[in-house]
Amino acid sequence: MFSPTDIKKELQNFKLRKSNHKQFVSDLLTSISDTVKQEERIGASLSIGNDQDQNNYNIDLLESDKIFHIDTIKSICIDFRLRFLDTKYFKNDFPEEAIEKIRLLENQHQTKIEGFKIMAPSKLFRLENPDDPLLFAPIGNGYYYLIHKWGNDLSPFRKWLVKPLRNLDNVLISAMCISFVLAYVVNSFLTVKDNNFISNFFLLFLFNFKWVVAVIMFYAIPRGKNVNEAIWDSVYNK
């Protein structure tokens, strides 16, 4: 049980443990330094942005439910009046979780990911407001990979509230519907004992339609507003 102590071996073991400890500390500091540099590079890439439309992923490692074609993205943006723009136009700070997911994805696929895009409401490209941004990176051939989503979900009524602004046809149809309701209500009060209900209603409808269209133009044109189909990928404030 009590064998003689070999001082030489004790010295060698101590030296080996000390050497391993130094190597561990050195490797740990190097890893931390590399991680910090990688995160700084990713942050700069998100802020500066570029026009790269493809990244070298390992397709076998991608999650299929996070892959979306540009046509799908465009359709959702139009339906919900969202923008799909380069991250350099995004005015809010990117959460640490998003940068960490990019870093892990780069390490997993052994590549540098660039060309990031953000899908979010227009106001997030101008003001600080946490409404449901989604961070994408291009795969190629019009496909994008969803990396991270943060913030609050959109209102369940948003799709219907912005539907009148989907395209010019919807704007005109909405104006006609509003004019029809106004004409019917006004005409009901004015022609209770009048037999010319239809003719009066038609005249009121035309008057209200011109009035509603004028109000829309007065509001939209000075403020540079446009329909969803025109702004989903536009960098201009519309």
Domain ranges in the chain are 1-155, 162-231
Burial label for 106, CB within 10 Å (0-12, 13-18, 19+), is: middle
pTM for the complete prediction? 0.64
Secondary structure of residue 50 in the 3-state scheme: coil
When the pLDDT of each residue in the chain is averaged and rounded to a whole number, the result is 78
pLDDT for 223 equals 58
pLDDT in tens, 13-67: 655 666 665 665 566 666 677 788 888 888 888 888 777 888 989 888 888 889 9
Strands (DSSP E) contained in the chain are 67-69, 82-86, 117-121, 134-140, 143-149
Could you tell me the two tokens for 89?
């136009």
Please identify which residue in the block is written with the tokens 């990979």. Answer: 145
pLDDT for 215 equals 80
